[in-house]
Amino acid sequence: MKPKLQFNKKDLNNVNKILTDLNIVVKNGNQIDIARASADIVKQQKLKAPVDTGALKGAINYSKEGSGVAIVSEMEYSSYVEYGTSKQKPQPFFFNPARVVFRNFVKKLESKLNRKIR
């Protein structure tokens, strides 16, 4: 006996509703979540940034760019602090906090999508 799958109109309506809900979550809900994650990344970066004059901490910001966000450090020497030089040890403050917060953001998004699917 061959396996057989049947869908009725109610099943298809349910699938369409789930897809519509997921689309709403991805398009609308994520803008708020992205802004929160971006603010959290900047906060963590500022906490990790070494302080001499405080200019480096003050230069870390985020802004909306198109459908995404740009997180930047405006100080020209930021990469030297992050990666070090021949005379200075690296003092990572920028990318590590971004990775940690972004991983948490993705986990929360997956959880939200899984709840919508169920």
The whole-angstrom separation of Cα 115 and Cα 109 is 10
**Beta-bridge partner residues of 95:** none
Q: Residue 9: count other Cβ atoms within 10 Å of its Cβ.
A: 7
The whole-angstrom separation of Cα 22 and Cα 60 is 33
Q: What is the pLDDT along the chain (118 residues), one digit of tens a residue?
A: 444 445 566 666 666 666 666 665 556 556 777 888 889 999 999 999 999 898 999 999 998 887 678 899 999 999 999 999 999 999 999 998 988 988 888 788 778 777 766 6
DSSP characters over 2-39: -------HHHHHHHHHHHHHHHHIIIIIHHHHHHHHHH
Alpha-carbon distances, residue 77 vs 55, 83, 92 (angstroms):
11, 10, 13
The structure's pTM equals 0.69
